[in-house]
Chain A
Amino acid sequence: MLDSIKDFASWFFVTGDPLIYGADVSIVLASAAIIGVLTYFKKWTWLWKNWLTTVDHKKIGIMYILAALLMLFRGGVDALMMRTQIALPDIKFLHPEHYNQVFTTHGTVMILFMAMPLMFGLFNIIVPLQIGARDVAFPFLNALSFWLFFMGAMLFNLSFVIGGSPDAGWTSYPPLAGLMHNPGVGENFYIWGIQISGIGSLATGINFLVTLIKMRAPGMTLMKMPMFSWSVFATCIIIVLAFPILTVTLALLFLDRFGGAHFFTLDLGGNPMMYINLFWMWGHPEVYIVILPAFGIFSEVVATFSRKRLFGYKSMVFAMLVISVLSFFTWLHHFFTMGSGADINAFFAITTMLIAIPTGVKIFNWLFTMYQGRIRFELPMMWTIAFIPCFVVGGMTGVLLSVAPADFQFHNSYFLIAHFHQVLIGGVVFGYFAGLYYWWPKMFGFKLDHTLGKWAFWFWNIGFYVCFMPQYSLGLMGMTRRISEYSWDTGWAPLNFISTIGAFLMGIAFILQVAQIVKSVFKHKKVSNDPWDARTLEWTTASPAPEYNFAVIPRVRAVDDWWETKERRAKGIADDPQPELEPIHMPKNSAIPIIMSVCWFVAGFGFVFGWWWFYVPGLIGVALCMIARSFSYDTDYYIPVDEIKRTEAAIRGSV
């Protein structure tokens, strides 16, 4: 009996690596500390009522961002572990098997559990405020999306200590990811972690699409919508069309592994290449899903900090919509070297190059927004200025990769690694940082410390170039991705060592940012509604905004409506008379999203191990939650006028 428990435990828990034991201990300590603090300060009710059951888009946004920063830490530690191994392959810091797990989780976490939630966090906080709405179209669904993402991410991360991490790469190509070559439970964690959070992503896409179409303030026609909202619109179109492909693909892969199906197996008529096609039919649009909102952020930031209207608004909108359509016609460039023939390769090479055109146009428009402006070097603007050269060079290497016959020499090499990190860090990460710094005062009512922010900025930027420029060279020297060891005669060691130094500089930069947040939380000045002298509606309401966002729904006349209002006020023209306050209709908090997501987590965990006594109750729980929600009619309430008056007075008094 004791022996069988021992056997089970040594199979069930990941064992044998001191790094993992260290992580186990720190996870237990951190959890104990959190529980201890919450209990000591009697904060459990506060946590439950104000956060875990909230349907307020602003709070959900903050939770998304917190989770994303946590995942950025995890993905970043993965990256540093890999870079350590690659810099000094002879010290055998990571065994190949462990290395394979680490690069798999690094990629998956960074794209799906870092970039996506950081993006959704910014959507949540800003979009309703920017279009003059009181919440998203479906607040309950919004909370459900968040909790599905969170539980999916937790399930994925659980593989670190239980069962074993996936190790077939973030792309998880069969046959390597199939049962034949990968019988462990790691791949199941990959499938279910992404699957559960993917449902949330799809729901968020639908939610924001509807919000942007139906909930804009009166007078805000589509062509008066702020550029960030436009970018969210374009992104949501891609999400709605692309995420179902991922869901179906992973479902089929799971059927192969779990139900003995043969969709992607080698034998009995399966076809692994079909997986690769399907994966990239989602995977390439996914890249544009994360970059388009960054484009939106840059557009807002560049106009605000140049004190000038965004150049070529119509062109910018058109370019973004063109990108979102084209993104669906380029997927094959991820496997030019799989022998599709010259006709197909030529077609996809050209569609890929075409994307460079609208993207280039956007760069010119940002430059000419700055041209004849007055550029203030606040943190959001610094990240935007750093983005332009970085993304331009990264975009250029992307065009080089799109040249199909040349790609035969770039594919799978570090040249490719350098390229996509340059566009994903230089574009997406820099963009979201710009957005975080820009909208931080709107979220919390204070700016982040400028000095520490500058240090972090320079460490990030220098670290980035030191890390990734050598990797272009390494690619041309023949170094391929995902290897954990190489011999000295390859001549790759010195540049790899340099690259690793850069990675650690970025690690320091991240610590500086954490320090910056901590310092600013304890020592800051409260800011007014509009600390940056900005242009759009989110800056007309308090920082942070009250739960109902706007006491009176604004009426919009122009692009950059708030800037125009300020101009009128400067000329001495009075504002339009405000209508009387009316009771505000609000959604009620609900515990169902978090409970339902926990049920999904239980079901997912059961599917990972194939334990019906786990997944059947989990799925029953999900069904019960749906039924409970269908029959709950007490889902909304009104904020009375006196309370609005009291809140508004308190806001005015506090600034």
Chain B
Amino acid sequence: MDKKPRSLRTLIAVVVTLVTLGALIWGMFFTADYLVLDPKGPIGEAQKDLIIISTVLCSIVIVPVLILTAIIVWRYRDNPKRKAAYKPNWHDSTILETIWWGVPILIIVVLAAVTARYTYALEPSKPIDANQKPLTIQVVSLDWKWLFMYPEEGIATVNTLTIPEDVPVRFQLSADSPMNSFWIPQLGGQIYAMSGMSMTLYLKADEVGTYFGSGANFTGEHFGKMTFDVHAVTGDDYQKWVDKVKENKGSTLTEASYADLAKPGVMGETEFSSFPEGLYDKIAFKYVVDGQSSHHGSSGTADETKKDGTDMDMPGMSHDSHQMGESHPGH
């Protein structure tokens, strides 16, 4: 019994450490900058709603289970003074079993329905607003930098994006490197950028601001350097920016300078006043063997995308929705 004060002291020490640590961590959790939970566009907004809905639905089961665990473990501990019942052979109850098969099934049914609805609504290749003409930006993941091409403006940038607010942006994504993933958390979820195929992702910024973007999938040595800022600006500022980039004739992207750019290496932000026409298609479909229906998207997909590239005024973005399916390998 004389050991008690010492174990009490240990207990106090442990509790004090835990509380300090807890307070520290708690503080950090609250001062943190949760990009995913602070969306600035409709896609991110919907995804945040979905995260909240699914968390709440799961909590219906999780919270009672956690409480029940604590109660049961405390109440039925082996202690000579405890008064709780002990029934060593009670091991079966149809009613209870029905409850805990039934309740999770119901919750999963609801969650499945919600998920299915959102999966179709948030299909990344689906245009955000059919009435509004989107801005197209072609994105290429290189070792270890991002190339962004604005086919409508004829300009290109590296590791920096500028977009007008309130205008849907249609990203076409490919890679001239191992597969990467293009992610701007505050605008919406990511999608892979893969060599030999073209993916589509619609995003929109509702507010002027600077948003963090990164290459989310590992592509080798310096992939951690593949972060970029997305500047969402007003329509006027966007036009001014485009004009400014176009004026700077000193820096153009040519076939030759692209070959240099594509070599493995790290670089900062750059802007080009022009880029070779059809560069994106050349990159995206460089592995497609002519005259043969290949793995990475049939040649039909390639044609379709080329048509998109030249026919940008066409409002018909409908084929985007099935382009995803076709560009998927194995078709």
Contact = CB atoms under 8 A, between A and B. Distances in A.
Given A337-B189, A404-B115, A406-B51, A271 B329 contact: yes
22 contacts: A169-B218, A175-B195, A176-B220, A274-B329, A338-B191, A346-B116, A356-B108, A367-B72, A368-B93, A375-B76, A400-B51, A403-B51, A404-B119, A408-B188, A409-B188, A411-B216, A412-B190, A470-B28, A473-B32, A477-B34, A478-B214, A491-B33
Given A353-B112, A375-B76, A389-B66, A409 B47 contact: yes
A484 B225 CA distance: 9
Interface string B172-190: 0000011101010100111
B181 A337 contact: yes
Nearest to B196: A266
B224 A356 contact: no
A338 B194 contact: yes
B25 A367 contact: no
Given A96-B221, A357-B101, A392-B65, A308 B90 contact: yes
Interface of A: 96-97, 100, 167-169, 173, 175-176, 181, 266-274, 306-313, 315, 335, 337-342, 345-346, 349-350, 353-354, 356-357, 360-361, 363-365, 367-377, 385, 388-389, 392-393, 396, 399-400, 402-409, 411-413, 458, 462, 466, 469-470, 473, 475-478, 480-487, 490-491, 494-495, 498
Contacts of B295: 269-271
Nearest to A474: B32
Given A338-B192, A374-B86, A498-B28, 7 more contacts: A308-B91, A385-B69, A405-B115, A409-B189, A412-B217, A478-B35, A494-B28
A367 B65 contact: yes
Contacts of B311: none
A339 B115 contact: no
A476 to B, nearest CB: 4
Interface in B52-79: 54-55, 58-59, 61-62, 65-66, 68-69, 72-73, 76-78
Interface string B289-308: 10000111000000000000
B88 interface: yes
Contacts of B86: 307-308, 372-374
Nearest to B21: A466
| Residue of B58, B86, B89 with most chain A CB atoms under a 10 A cut-off | B58
B37 interface: yes
Contact of A486 (B116, B195, B224): B224
Contacts of A369: 91
Contacts of A341: 123, 324-325, 328
A335 B62 CA distance: 26
A370 B25 contact: no
A176 B33 contact: no
A47 B59 CA distance: 54
A495 B32 contact: yes
Contact of A346 (B21, B89, B120, B225): B120
A175 B179 contact: yes
B259 interface: no
Contact of A490 (B84, B114, B212): B212
A403 B50 contact: yes
B64 to A, nearest CB: 10
A109 B294 CA distance: 37
B181 to A, nearest CB: 6
B122 interface: yes
Grouping DSSP codes into helix (H, G, I), strand (E, B) and loop, the B interface class, with mixed when no group exceeds half, is mixed
A270 B111 CA distance: 38
B192 A405 contact: no
Interface in B26-58: 28-29, 32-37, 44, 46-48, 50-51, 54-55, 58
A167 B119 CA distance: 34
B258 interface: no
Question: 3 tightest A-B contacts by CB?
Answer: A408-B189, A483-B224, A176-B178
A357 B115 contact: no
Contacts of B215: 480
Contacts of A370: 72-73, 76
Contacts of A385: 69, 73
A305 B203 CA distance: 55
B91 A363 contact: no
Contacts of A462: 18
B115 A403 contact: yes
Contacts of B54: 399-400, 403, 406
A313 B51 CA distance: 35
A339 B328 contact: yes
Contact of A405 (B119, B328, B330): B119
Nearest to A310: B91
Interface in B141-196: 177-179, 181, 183, 185, 188-192, 194-196
Given A266-B287, A371-B72, A375-B73, A312 B199 contact: no
A478 B185 contact: yes
A373 B76 contact: yes
A389 B69 contact: yes
A5 to B, nearest CB: 29
A370 B151 CA distance: 66
Contacts of A308: 86-91
A391 B5 CA distance: 35
A405 B221 contact: no
A205 to B, nearest CB: 29
A273 B329 contact: yes
Interface in B96-124: 96-97, 100-101, 104-105, 108, 111-112, 114-116, 118-124
Nearest to B216: A412
A364 B103 CA distance: 12
A353 B115 contact: yes
Contacts of A360: 61, 65, 100, 104
A481 B223 CA distance: 11
Given A100-B221, A338-B194, A372 B189 contact: no
A592 B24 CA distance: 58
B92 interface: yes
B87 A473 contact: no
Given A269-B295, A271-B330, A466-B25, A374 B78 contact: yes
Nearest to B49: A406
| Residue of A339, A357, A473, A495 with most chain B CB atoms under a 10 A cut-off | A339
A372 B87 contact: yes
